[in-house]
Amino acid sequence: MKTLNIVTLVAVLATSAAYAQTMVEDTDGDGVYSMEELMVVYPAITEDLFGEVDANDDGAVDADELAAAQEAGVLSN
């Protein structure tokens, strides 16, 4: 029973992490997130904050940049 509880907890935590990283929808299907796409989930995001999240400064946020910002607590709704 103890093992089942641990396995269940791990599954819930893994699902929560995956959900947190997929909250933003790539509406145009280009594989990255624009300022507008991020604003749906993070309405208070500013150009400066977007630039901070866009670590490679290419004008878009990829999945790794988004996950890093979420994990660091840079983005909050």
pLDDT tens profile 13-61 = 444 444 444 489 999 999 999 999 999 999 999 999 999 999 999 999 9
Place of tokens 């604003």: 39
Chain-centre distance for alpha carbon 8:
23
Number of compact structural domains in the chain: 1
33 beta partners: 61
The boundaries of the domain holding residue 17 are: 2-71
Task: Give residue 58's pLDDT.
Answer: 98
Whether residue 76 lies inside any domain: the answer is: no
Whether residue 77 lies inside any domain: the answer is: no
Task: Give residue 5's pLDDT.
Answer: 52
Task: Give residue 15's pLDDT.
Answer: 43
Q: Give the predicted TM-score (pTM) of the model.
A: 0.70
Q: Report the CATH number at residue 45.
A: 1.10.238.10
